[in-house]
């Protein structure tokens, strides 16, 4: 996930594969709670910046 880009305007751009992996990590019940929280936070920030539509 090293290619997540945050532009100067504050827009977070996720590739489709990054978004899918974050959604998988955020939704898993077997992952560490910290990993799931981190994934949910990144998805929320991307959604708020307008680069994701749910």
User: Angle at the Cα of 21 (from 17 to 26), degrees rounded to 5?
Assistant: 150
Q: What is the pLDDT of residue 31?
A: 63
Q: What is the pLDDT of residue 4?
A: 54
Per-residue pLDDT of the chain (54 residues; tens, 9 = 90+): 455 554 446 677 788 898 898 888 888 776 678 888 888 888 888 888 776 655
Q: What is the pLDDT of residue 1?
A: 45
What does the domain layout of the chain look like in residue ranges? 5-48
Q: What is the pLDDT of residue 27?
A: 80
Name residues whose C-beta falls within 8 Å of residue 39's C-beta, 6 or more positions apart in sequence: 22, 23, 25, 26
């Amino acid at each position: 996930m090293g290619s997540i880009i945050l532009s100067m305007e504050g827009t977070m751009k996720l590739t489709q594969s990054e978004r899918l992996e974050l959604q998988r990590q955020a939704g898993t019940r077997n992952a560490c709670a910290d990993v799931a929280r981190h994934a949910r936070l990144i998805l929320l920030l991307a959604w708020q910046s307008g680069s994701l539509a749910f």
